[in-house]
């Protein structure tokens, strides 16, 4: 699942709001899930788990317009209640599944086009290149599955012209056979 992670130093569960702070590429903004009120937690998780939340490249963009139970934008509520934390991206790992933890600093570096290489490790807790690759494959599989679901939903709502033309041609052929 996108936007979910943990603080490396404390193992606290986090929701990633912004991958980078503007002007501070080595920092990110997160919400620590254990510190949230029940209303903020439930509202945040609902948006996070939604298709819209999973498609967003930055979760905060969606949280800015989605309302919590009190009728306030979720992002605004988190800000007012001082639940948004600025952390070094090197202390945050994204956890797209239960077996994968990818340091946010490495993801940001890869997005910026910088060369990233994680040192190989022998049970010291440091991610290896193969573990990172496994995590990326896992994320890609999840995204691929979601893309297929979204395409099917879009097709249901509004078939493409090609599909509509085939149906029209088949209906005309059926009518022609029936009248013959």
Q: What pLDDT, in 10s, does the model give residues 100-146?
A: 888 999 888 888 776 555 444 445 455 567 766 766 676 666 667 77
Beta bridge partners of residue 7, listed in sequence order:
92
pLDDT attached to residue 11: 93
Phi-psi region of 71 (alpha: psi -120 to 50; beta: other; left: phi over 0): left
Q: In this predicted structure, what is the pLDDT of residue 121?
A: 47
- DSSP-derived secondary structure letter, 29: E
What the block records as the tokens of 162 is 């090609």
Mean pLDDT of 43-67: 92
| Confidence band of 59 (pLDDT split at 50, 70, 90) | very high
Global confidence as pTM = 0.63
Amino acid 1: pLDDT: 85
* Mean pLDDT over each residue of the chain, to the nearest integer: 82
Note the pLDDT of residue 42: 92
- Is residue 92 within 8 Å of 8, Cβ to Cβ? yes
DSSP conformational letter for 93: E
- What is the percent of the chain with per-residue pLDDT over 70, rounded to a whole number? 73
- The pLDDT value given to residue 167: 59
Q: Is residue 84 within a helix (H) or strand (E), and if so which, with residue range?
A: strand 84-88
pLDDT given for residue 96 in this prediction: 85
**Closest Cα to residue 62, out of 16, 112, 103?**
16
Query: Is a pLDDT exceeding 50 seen at residue 175?
Result: yes
């Amino acid at each position: 699942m996108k936007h979910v992670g943990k603080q490396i130093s404390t193992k606290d569960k986090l929701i990633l709001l912004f991958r980078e702070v503007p002007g501070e590429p080595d920092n990110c903004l997160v919400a620590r899930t254990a510190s949230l009120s029940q209303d903020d937690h439930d509202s945040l998780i609902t948006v996070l788990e939604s298709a819209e939340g999973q498609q967003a490249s930055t979760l905060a963009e969606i949280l800015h317009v989605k309302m919590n139970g009190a009728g306030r934008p979720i992002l605004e509520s988190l800000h007012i209640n001082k639940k948004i934390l600025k952390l070094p991206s090197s202390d945050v790992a994204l956890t797209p599944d239960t077996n994968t933890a990818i340091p946010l600093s490495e993801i940001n570096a890869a997005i910026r086009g910088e060369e990233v290489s994680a040192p190989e490790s022998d049970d010291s807790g440091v991610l290896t290149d193969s573990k990172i690759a496994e995590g990326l494959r896992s994320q890609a599989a999840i995204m691929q599955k979601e893309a297929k679901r979204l395409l099917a939903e879009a097709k249901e709502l509004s078939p493409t012209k090609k599909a509509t033309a085939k149906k029209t041609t088949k209906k005309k052929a059926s009518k022609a056979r029936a009248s013959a």
